[in-house]
Amino acid sequence: MSARAGLLHPRILIGGGIVATLALMAVFAPQLAPHDPNAQELMYTLLPPAWAPGGNLAHPLGTDSLGQDVLSRLIWGTRTALYVAVLAAGGAMLLGTTLALLAGYFGGWADWLVARAVDTWMSFPPVILALILLVGFGAGLNNVVFAIIIVDWTRFARVIRAEVIVVRRRDYIAAARLSGFSHMRTLVSEVLPATMPLIVTLLSLEMGIAVIVEATLSFVGLSVETDVPAWGVMIADARVYMNQSPWGVMVPTLAIFVTVLAFNLLGDGLRRALDPRLRVRGAA
């Protein structure tokens, strides 16, 4: 009951609402976008948004330097952003959390190996590492996902390992073993749920980071193929004409900002709602 009440917190409602809207935009992009995102109308380049002087209702957010409809590209760009956010953050979470659970729970050599691997990994500058990976594998959306997983699993591994070590010392873990639970079952049904609030928080932060990383790599042309709309590509294209037409930069930047903020709000809200330690006695 109290957990359900917690799920109605404004953080979750606002964050979740925005994320849900973005997800719908991504799924129904072909239906929602008023134009083909790659269709060029060279008669109408660098149009301002419809409400600004010289705007045109056919292009509500204006057009870019090639006369492509900004709103349509923005909607299609949501697809790219969320694809990377979900797959990259999910992959980093799976890899990092699995290693962290094994290292923190079993300790000993497993822990020593994972801890040193994380130390070594985190000493590489992440941007350089990602660039090296992308140059090696070649540009492309799936390679961006792969690069983010390879670079960012350490965030999950380090933070969750520390939490697992704390949880593992609680007597209820020993009690589960004494009840007859196998190591695997203890890990999955006792240790993992205790780290869930942290995992959810990290996952949402990581989704936000993935959106930014993808946009950054798109900006330098290492991410998507040229015919795929992405927010980073939009910023890169509009950057040259920023003085004549600031909207071209502002619109995709605002989209990135809102997306990252929504992920953070949702993650923080879920962490509070899921943590039974924050559930007060008698509140049920």
Partner 1 sequence: MSDTLYIEDLTVALRGAEVLRNLTFDVAPGRVVGLVGESGAGKSMIGRVLAGTLPEGFGVTGGSARFGTADLVTMAPAARRAMLGGRITFIPQEPLTALNPLLTIGAQFIEHLARLGVPRRARRGRVLDALAQVELPDPAQIVARYPFQLSGGQNQRVLIAMAFASNPALIIADEPTTALDVSTQMSVVSLIRRMGRDHGTGLVFITHDLRLAAHVCDAIVVLYAGEVVERGPAATVMLSPRHPYTHSLKASIPQLSGPLHRLVPLPDTMPGIGSFAAMPGCRFAGRCPVSDPACAAAPPANVDLGGGHVVRCAPGCLSGAWDGTTPELLLPPPDPTGEPILTVAGLSKRFPPPRDLFGRRRGDGTLAVDGADLTVHAGEFIGVVGESGSGKSTLARLIMGLEHPTSGTIRLDDRDITAASRAARDLRIEALQMVFQDPQSALNPRRTVQRLVTQGMEARGQRDRPTRAADLLRETGLAADLTHRYPSELSGGQKQRVNIARALCVAPRLLVADEIVSGLDVSVQAQILNLLMALRDEHGIGLILISHDLGVVRYLCSRVCVMLQGRIVEQGTVARVFSDPQHAYTKALLASIPPDDPTVPWPPEKESTQ
Interface positions with partner 1 (CB under 8 A): 109, 112, 170-172, 174-181, 185, 190, 193-194, 276-277, 279-284
Please report how close the Cβ of residue 156 comes to partner 1 at its closest, in angstroms. Answer: 21
Nearer to partner 1, 41 or 177 (CB): 177
Nearer to partner 1, 5 or 128 (CB): 5
Burial class (CB in 10 A: 0-12, 13-18, 19+), 54: exposed
Please report how close the Cβ of residue 177 comes to partner 1 at its closest, in angstroms. Answer: 7
Nearer to partner 1, 152 or 190 (CB): 190
CA 106 to chain centre: 30
Please report how close the Cβ of residue 102 comes to partner 1 at its closest, in angstroms. Answer: 17
Burial class (CB in 10 A: 0-12, 13-18, 19+), 165: middle
Nearer to partner 1, 121 or 241 (CB): 121
Please report how close the Cβ of residue 202 comes to partner 1 at its closest, in angstroms. Answer: 19
Please report how close the Cβ of residue 176 comes to partner 1 at its closest, in angstroms. Answer: 7
**Whole-Å CA distances, 110 to 12, 102, 113, 219, 251:** 37, 7, 5, 39, 47
Nearer to partner 1, 59 or 168 (CB): 168
